[in-house]
Chain A
């Protein structure tokens, strides 16, 4: 705590004595250790005198030991004198505990390309099998819950709807409203040059209802919810809560995963409807202000230009996206192993993977779904 004199060694040529002085502690010794160990050619017998040491700790004792060792190696005989009882005890304790050899980190050699390729392939293969096993487990338990709905954890199911649906209303609504504005503004400028103002209605309608509404919502929810699921299950995994459930004979899938998937299947399509409404509202605003299409004529023409099928095409994606988000989130949560680091990594992975899968699924949908509305 107090200011300390730095550790020092001085060599007395007449008496062949090394005088140690100052404070040999971890905070005062760094300057001493930056110099090479003291050596001399004058004599073969050296006495190390420690009466001047005001304080010593294990680091100081270690440094002294290093110095003595360096002298011994150059063929000197060492004797110690003047050290207090405590310092001697400390010195002996450090000497006894000193590691004999320097350990090396395991296999610092870089593995060959083929080894890495093989290991990665096998790892991927097993993680694929793992994923399939998880999917299978979820489907089996899903079936059982459908057969016997009484076994569903209603409380956590409702909680999931509240957490992922109700609490996401503001962000989803605002963002899709802004997307609607941007979309209408950008395309409106083109339409205006051709005098095709009225087509803003079908453009906004189709784009929002069929593509942007579901996609934007799913991506926002993936960012909010998928990560939350992974972090929650991952932390439970670290805390051995998952193991506790298993040992009680409670399936973590039934207790944790099914309510999340079911809850999200309910809340995501509702959010998509909200996104559709807000997006179209945004488009309406721009149509009125920029393209001289009043709210009244926008709404009047909307049912003529947009078919119900368009809305349904968008909505049908909802439950599928919900399964992807909740499934990936939970699966990654179960993949967490034993460190805080791993929770972070798996959370990132769950968001990236669910967004990736959402976009792939969306692409598949645009091929499969009938395009009657165009």
Chain B
């Protein structure tokens, strides 16, 4: 496992305001290279907002965000484009292009950003499709013909097709059956081992947290309450953290974890 002490993403003093509501204030967070970082917190605590900040979809009101030591809030278009090419994103509902088949969807980044011969592009896209656990028959289907779980996997295939250094997952296992969710976790670990991938995921799936995350970032009260491995997080006395893990569903996982 390649671990280094340098943060790959470092967020400092970020403030977000949506409408009149202050979502984050004085939020600080470092994400280390080669780790799987899970972002958790109650609904409405701004997990997705934070993710959108990092993905340059939403500019925070103030603060700084650095990715690969580049300030993404004050960099030129070329640099930001370069950063965009080095990450893959899995959106909560897949966000596959509905006009393209699964294969074309997965091939899309290859076709747009590489000069690989078309035949090779197709083979690599197919490889990613099978790696994400989709049957080959699904390659020629349109997103509208797939079930929710298959959509997720197709979207994952598209997110990893360029072998990104950074992978962002927004609720990757929601809507998957337990077996697929388990397979998803395994795949994530494999990718991390093989590619030294850094993963940031927003999740509510406690078994996924226990299984794959190196560090859990707990959002609450408009900032990061704790960024610790799950075991240590569970020992925290903060009422919000206690409440989050103490529901009837939380208890059983905490015991098993």
Contact = CB atoms under 8 A, between A and B. Distances in A.
Contacts of B83: 1
B114 A103 contact: no
Contacts of B139: 103
Contact of A25 (B113, B120, B126, B163): B163
Nearest to A102: B126
Contact of A89 (B2, B130, B137, B193): B193
A98 B193 contact: no
B124 interface: yes
A339 B143 contact: yes
Nearest to A63: B120
B123 A339 contact: no
A338 interface: yes
Interface string B136-163: 1101101110000000000000001011
Question: Size band of the A side of the interface?
Answer: 20 to 34
B127 A340 contact: no
Contacts of B113: 27
B130 A98 contact: yes
Contacts, number: 83
Contacts of A94: 127, 131
Contacts of A98: 127, 130
Given A58-B127, A103-B126, A339 B142 contact: yes
B194 A89 contact: yes
Interface string B88-125: 00000000001100000000001001111100100110
Nearest to B140: A105
Interface string B54-94: 00000000000000100000000000001100100000000
A58 B195 contact: yes
B215 to A, nearest CB: 21
Interface in A1-25: 1, 25
Contact of A93 (B144, B190, B196): B190
A30 B120 CA distance: 9
Contacts of A58: 124, 127-128, 131, 160, 163, 194-195
A341 B117 contact: no
Interface of B: 2, 68, 82-83, 86, 98-99, 110, 113-117, 120, 123-124, 126-131, 136-137, 139-140, 142-144, 160, 162-163, 165, 190, 193-196
